[in-house]
Every structure is written in structure tokens, then in C-alpha cells.
Chains A and B, each alone.
Chain A
């Protein structure tokens, strides 16, 4: 892991402590699957109605940690990264475009949850297309945005996850 991340002041929340795991998995997934080097900026607290980029892959978490992760790209960035990932040029309108964004989100979320531990399940990805969309957040849980920079442009990973405090049995599929 190359980036050292200092959470912003006042965000010493459980969500902030998970961020380092996401940073590592973003960099590993993009490097291994798309040969893209990602540098990461300081995570920011997301102010509520701020929209995500043009295309987002959303993964839900359940079990010991609950909430969601959003991988969000500008179209141009997504086209470049997804084409590298799939090994062929992909147009934003094609079904493979959404599929590839979803699978990248799946791998980032999966690697991160393995890294932060606990008995947590991830959902299959949902894809949202269209500029200016927003993804609803868990009430009372900070949403931290990890700004990501690549040669192909910028993207962001939004993390809105909290530990489940209740000690009821974990649902397993």
C-alpha cells in the first residue's frame, strides 16, 4: 500500500477507520485488473445532497458491518479504465460498460471487507447511469469520499459503512 491516509479532523468515526482498507483495495484492484496506477487524496466528508459522477457501481454491506460503498466515475474516466479492464474499447451505452463498472466495484468492496475483517457479506452490484445522480446514505453515519486520481482522469469511492453493534446472529447466505 503506497498511500498514507490521514482522515480529516473530526472524523475519527468507525467509518474513517475503515478507509485505509478501501484505499488499499482500490489501488490493488485497479493495478491488477486494469494496469492503472491510482493516487489517493485525503478523504473528505460528503455533504448530503452532493451528486456523484456520471456512472456509479453500488455495493451493499450486511452482517457485522452495514451500509454501502459507491464507486463513481466521470464517463470519460470510466471508458478509459473499463477499456483497460476488459481489454477492448467499451462505449458508455453498451451493457458491458455497466457490467464492468459493477465488477470493479464488487472486487474493491470484496477486497476491502476481507481486509477489515469481521463476518460481513457484500451484495451483488447495482449500477446507476446518468450524470447528477445521488446515492442515499445511512442516516447518522458519515459518508467519506476517497478522491482517486489516475492518468485517465479522476474518480471517487464513497464509503458509508458502520459496524453493527447488536450481537444478534449474522445472516449468512
Chain B
């Protein structure tokens, strides 16, 4: 499984990587902002199986990244992992094409649960 992790905090990406190790040691690609993430997407022709995307980042924020991604890719599951927790923001993210939402701070279990839920849902739709 190939996962793209987009967060300006390396610490946060490391924490997420550790949590997701239990999913059969996925191959994780990391990006520190939306622009880097777009480059990662362009250089991965076979695509990713899952993306975890932060909202607040320099250069290009996560919401803008998701909008740009969805211009070409409607299907890759995207989970927004962010401190932005207002209802209006969550609705904005879902409208942009986010499949699921995890609010920081999170426990390892809650992140893992949300990832499994998202993969199961997206895979059942694709099947």
C-alpha cells in the first residue's frame, strides 16, 4: 500500500507513519506542503492508495491541494488530518473532495480506526 502524507510538521508525519505501520508496513511518501504534494502526485504515475492531508501549511494549504488533486483524480481516498474543527471548515473540506476527517489532537486508535473505515468504504465503492 502506498500512502502520501502531507503535513508541514515532520513530527506529525512521523507519528502518523508509526500509527499506520500496523497496516502491513505501507510505503509512505512525505510532503511538507501542498505544492510538494502535487509534485509527489505527478511523479507517482500509478497513484497512491491513500492520502493524509493537513490543512494549515505554508506555500499551499491542504484545502487548495485537495481541490487541485480532485481536478484530475476523483477517487484516491483522502483524509484531512487537521486542527481545523469548525463545522463550516469540515463542510468546506468535504465539498472539496475529502473522504474523511480526523481532528488533531487524535489518539493513535482513533486515527487508525478512521483510516480503516475510509479504506473499507472507498474499496467497496470501487469494487
Q: Which residue of B lies closest to A86 (CB)?
A: B11
Q: Verify A85–B11 contact, CB threshold 8 A.
A: yes
On chain B, the number of residues with a Cβ less than 8 Å from chain A's Cβ atoms is: 24
A99 within 8 A of B: yes
Q: Verify B11–A107 contact, CB threshold 8 A.
A: no
Q: Which residue of B lies closest to A30 (CB)?
A: B105
Q: Is the interface of B mostly helix, strand, loop or mixed?
A: loop
B-contact 0/1 string along A102-127, CB 8 Å cutoff? 11001101110010010100111000
- Give the A-B contact count at a CB cut-off of 8 A: 62
Q: Verify B15–A32 contact, CB threshold 8 A.
A: no
Q: Is the interface of A mostly helix, strand, loop or mixed?
A: helix
Q: Complex: how many Å from CA A28 to CA B83?
A: 12
Q: Complex: how many Å from CA A122 to CA B84?
A: 9
Size category of the A interface is 20 to 34
Q: Verify A106–B9 contact, CB threshold 8 A.
A: yes
List of A residues within 8 angstroms of B8 by Cβ: 124
List residues of chain B with CB under 8 Å of any chain A CB. 8-12, 14-15, 18, 56-58, 61, 63-64, 82-86, 88, 104-107
